[in-house]
Structure 1
Amino acid sequence: MDLGFHLVLIAGLAHLVAQVAKCVGNNRLVYVCDGGMPSGHAATVAALAAGILLLDGASAGFAIAFVLALIVMHDAMHVRSEVGRHAVILNKMQQKVHCKEAVGHSLVQVLAGALLGIVVAGLYVFFLRFL
């Protein structure tokens, strides 16, 4: 199997683990919801970057994935939080249509997601060595 296949699996597993972790903490299905602990966005991009680093070394691909991971995590914390604040104001202005207000992540949620992604990538590569 080629590198791309493993990287897609690593990123997908990290995202799945993050979303399942949200369900465990809330006793409900929140896979389709935005926000929450841990950040699925951060887990996915951190796992992808860590997977590239572990499987391909400090390559140009890792540099690209790392920079894009930082952008996605910044967006998850800042830009999406602003969208949530705008939704609160819009919901107060109009009573008929409600906008989703909880769409951003806190720093702790993003860091937890990133750590989760790195751990998933590390475990995947560890077990891959034995297959």
Structure 2
Amino acid sequence: MSNRGLVTALTAVGAAQLLKLPVHFARSGKWDVRKIIGSGGMPSSHSSGVSALAAYTATKYGVKTPEFAISAMLGIIVMYDAMNIRRHTGEIAVQVNDLDEDVEKLAGEHPGLYHARRRERLKESLGHQPIEVLAGSLLGAFIGFVGALTINKK
């Protein structure tokens, strides 16, 4: 017997990750299959997963239960982190990645012995804009609600 709540949450994560591909194409006109496994982007798979779990738990057990309280608090923490801490980390990564170019400009494109260009760029797409979190949470809530209503009753 599987854990239906976990399966529902993971289904929501997978759905959000798959949706990133056509959303990215609609915005950029380019197909990039790396979006399916990458972090960041529209919709937030983190938000989708925790929202699916909370909606599933609320539908199955009710909103006055400890199970729902735990899933709701987990969701709040994860979505806050995705929108704030992780997004700001991504913005800092953009600035750090641009440092090499800035140093070379300041040095007249000849930085000398004291500057070696970074070999690897930091990952810039880590967090989410609020609209991406909202879209992920709405997708997840829908999947969680449907998951709880479609349980096989034996």
TM-score, normalised relative to structure 1: 0.90
* Aligned equivalents of 1:25, 1:130: Cα separation in 2: 36
2:20 counterpart letter in structure 1: K
Gaps of 5+ in 1: none
Q: Superposition pairs for residues 1-131 of structure 1, below 5 Å?
A: 1=1, 5-26=3-24, 27-29=31-33, 30-58=35-63, 59-94=65-100, 95-96=117-118, 97-128=120-151
Q: Provide the identity percentage.
A: 34
Aligned length: 129
1:111-130 CA-partner distances (Å, limit 9, x unpaired)? 11000001001112232257
Segment drifting more, 102-111 vs 85-94: 85-94
Q: Which has the larger radius of gyration?
A: 2
* Aligned equivalents of 1:114, 1:21: Cα separation in 2: 13
Superposed structure 1 runs of 4+ greater than 3 Å apart:
none
Q: What is the CA RMSD across the aligned residues, in angstroms?
A: 1.7
